[in-house]
Structures are given as structure tokens and as C-alpha cells.
Amino acid sequence: MRLSRGRALKRPLSLPPGSTIGICAPSGPVDDSPLEEGLHWLDEAGYRTRCGENLRARSGFLAGTDRERLADLLELIRAPEVRAIVLARGGYGVGRLLPQLDPVEIRRARKLFVGYSDATLLLLWLRRCAGLASVHGPMLERSDATLPARARLLEVLRGGPEALVPLEGELLRGGRVRGPLVGGNLTMLAGSLGTPWEVDTRGAILFFEEVGEKPYAIDRCLLQLREAGKLKQARGVAVGQLVDCVDERYPQVAARDVVAEILQAEVGGPIALDLPFGHVADNRALGVGITAELDGDRGTLALVDPVVEEGA
């Protein structure tokens, strides 16, 4: 695997209406109902869709065998008419495919990848290995995605001005910084350590979210990032939604408090909490690798630059 260290980050090409979006599932198996609704939404938004041949395949906890999932991903990467690739859902499994991807080929293709959750590893790989920006945002796994979340995703795809509107959260520590935005699901970020696509927070704004993890597990992941130097290297931290992160055995311990304690001790810059992204219906899209501004005094996070650029 040839890495893109030292290369300038390349932005994918924008998606005007009429463009073709590829849909595949490199992680867990897909549920038909939300998938069909998501495909219908993209059609109504003016986009064509091309689904991977094995999109609905199943193999245990995976959406088909490694060979099938990789074949779909490569087919869409190599299809000239496909301008972006939106993952159907997360779950688990995309990390099994990353060593088999060619960063030079994918950088040259300049396709916009959209996903979150397990897709965090792919988004980290795109930035670290291929030098390509991507989108942490809604996939096609939720029937309850909010209109604002879908509208923002379309603005991000098209490079529209609404993609730069700040997300509003709650301040924890004041200050204002700019830097490349990197992050994703907290468990996946910790799991990236020691790999070629390890999260790189040097001079960056780190963002993370989590779902279904008990507070002690969140503590463990943050300590792992701390000991790897990732928290001190970050200019600031933006925390999204911590969904169902409770422990019936220790109900008095809140995940939010665990996060606040560790971040306040380790992060020198601004910190914002409760931002609208993660495993929620109102999952607002962010640009991985794109310059962003974190305003801890206001508790806001905003992209400074579009994720995409215009091109033929």
C-alpha cells in the first residue's frame, strides 16, 4: 500500500443533479425497507443510482463475502459514470477490505464517499492513504432521517453554501481554532491505532460520536487515544451524539461526564458537546480532511471550505 504522506488533500468532484451515485454495502447486511426509501429519496433529489450487484447479499454478520463486497466497491470506483459512492449502512466489515484497495487508483478517480459508523475506517483510509476528502454523513439505513440532515447532505454533495452553515452544540471549553476535520465513531477511531490508516490528529479538529457503548467502554477508548497522543495533538474536539451509552449496573455514571472529564484534562483547545451528528435521525454531514472552524465559545462547528470542487 503506497501512502499519500506529504501530498496535498484532493477534493472529490461535485455532484450536480443528474449525476450517478453508486450504492454498496462493504460492511453489514442491508435491510430492504430503508434502502428502498433511500433510493427513492435520491431519485426525487434528481440523482441516478447504480447499485452493486451484491448489495443485498448476506454472509453471517456481513453483507456478503469479502470477495463480493470488494467486487461491488471496485466496480463502482471504476465505473466512469459513477460520481459518488454512498454506503448503504455500517455494521462491521469494511476494515477487512482496506488492505486490498489501491490508493493511487482511488485518488485518481476522485469519487466522493459518504458514510459513518463502521465506515469511519474507510474515511480515515481515504484521507491518510489516498489523500482524498470524504463525507461523514447519512447513509441509506434509516427511514427516519430528518429533512434538515438530508438537505445538508445534498448541499455537501453539490458544494452549495448551506454546507458551510455551522452546526450548533453546547460549549465545554471556549476558544476558536481552525484545522482539518478528522474523526468518526469513537470505537473505530481507537481501533484504527497501529494501522496504516491510523487517525492523525496533528493540528486537526477531532470529532467523534458513539452508540450503544457503556461509559466504561467510552473511557477505555478515550484513554487509548490519550496514550497514543491523539488528544493532545488535536487543536480542539467536537463531540456528537452519545446514543444509548448507559450502563444499568452503574446508572449514576453518564457517558457525557466521562467524555468531559478526560477531554478537559487532555485537550488544550476548545471543546464542544452535543453536536448534531452520529447515530441519530438528524445526522448532519461533515467533511473529513476539510478545513473546519470549532468555536468553543458558541459551541459551534462549521466547515470553512466545501468538501467538493466543480469539475467536468
Report the candidate in 84, 75, 82, 70 with the shortest Cα–Cα distance to residue 27. Answer: 70
In 3-state terms, what secondary structure has residue 136? strand
Question: What is the bridge-based pairing of β-strands 205-211 and 236-243?
Answer: parallel
The residues annotated as belonging to the active site are 117, 209, 279
- Percent of the chain as helix, strand, coil, to the nearest 5: 35, 25, 45
Beta pairing partners, 271: 173, 237
Report the candidate in 204, 203, 208 with the shortest Cα–Cα distance to residue 189. Answer: 208
As a whole number of angstroms, the distance between CA 138 and CA 145 comes to 8
Q: Which residue has the cell 456478503?
A: 64
As a whole number of angstroms, the distance between CA 89 and CA 87 comes to 6
Based on its alpha-carbon atoms, the radius of gyration of the chain, rounded to whole angstroms, reads 18
Burial of 233 (0-12, 13-18, 19+ CB in 10 A): middle
Q: Report the helix count and the strand count for the chain, using DSSP H and E.
A: 9, 14
Instruction: For residue 49, give the amino acid letter.
Output: T
Cell, residue 33: 425497507
